[in-house]
Amino acid sequence: MRQAMLGFCFFAAACSSQPFSPTAPSGLAGVAGTQAQANGRAANVEVTFTKWVPAFPTLAGVTGGDVPGTFAGAVLSRDPFDNGNIVQLEARYEVIGQDAAHSFVAHIEGKQNNETQEAVFNGTIIEGWLLGAQVHVTYDRIAPCPAFGQAVCFTGVIRVMPGSAN
């Protein structure tokens, strides 16, 4: 069902005269952020993204949510499991915010499940805004990806936990 909804979103964006940009998850970021602030902690930053692979290992894309802008990156290592369904990945994600003060680079590691078309990663911001903060990344594989003229793209969320910074 989620894949059908995402497919619809991409189809609708491709048909729209407005430029496409990922949006934050409906309502969840605001609720979590309000609760965190009430507890005296910094609210999580949620960066939505859509990325693709123009030429392996390079990544490109767009960001939205709390940090609209551009996405860049690279796959640093790719190790498939013997079962062929799971791939261990290490990557460098760069978020270049429209407001340059909110740009950062994260080093992440995790697993992509090629059967479910989902991935989960954890890592740390190694350069820029919120240096040292922990990040949690999730994404889904989308094919085709007409909104960006790609055969395959990945759409997800980078959750930055400012309170975890050194």
Token pair of 41 as six digits: 């902690």
Sign of CA dihedral 71, 9, 110, 126: positive
3-state secondary structure of 151: coil
Phi, psi of 120 (to 5 degrees): -140, 130
Produce one character per residue of 22-43: b if its CB has 16 or more CB atoms within 10 Å, e if not: beeeeeebeeebeebeeeeebb
- pLDDT tens digits for 57-75? 999 999 999 999 999 999 9
Q: What is the tens place of the pLDDT at every residue in 78-94?
A: 999 999 899 999 999 99
The mean pLDDT value of the chain amounts to: 82
User: 11 is written with which tokens?
Assistant: 């189809």
φ, ψ at 93 (rounded to 5°)? -110, 130
CA distance 157 to 159: 6
State the pTM of this model: 0.77
Rounded percentage of the chain residues whose pLDDT exceeds 90: 72
What are the CB-based long-range contacts (under 8 Å, 24+) for 14-19?
14/146, 14/147
Task: Judge contact between 43 and 32, C-beta under 8 A.
Answer: yes
pLDDT higher than threshold 60 for residue 32: no
Distance CA 97, CA 111 (A): 26
pLDDT at 20: 42
Q: According to the model, what pLDDT value does residue 17 have?
A: 36
Tell me the residue type at 143. A
Q: What is the pLDDT of residues 112-157, one digit of tens each?
A: 999 999 999 999 999 999 999 999 999 999 999 999 999 999 999 9
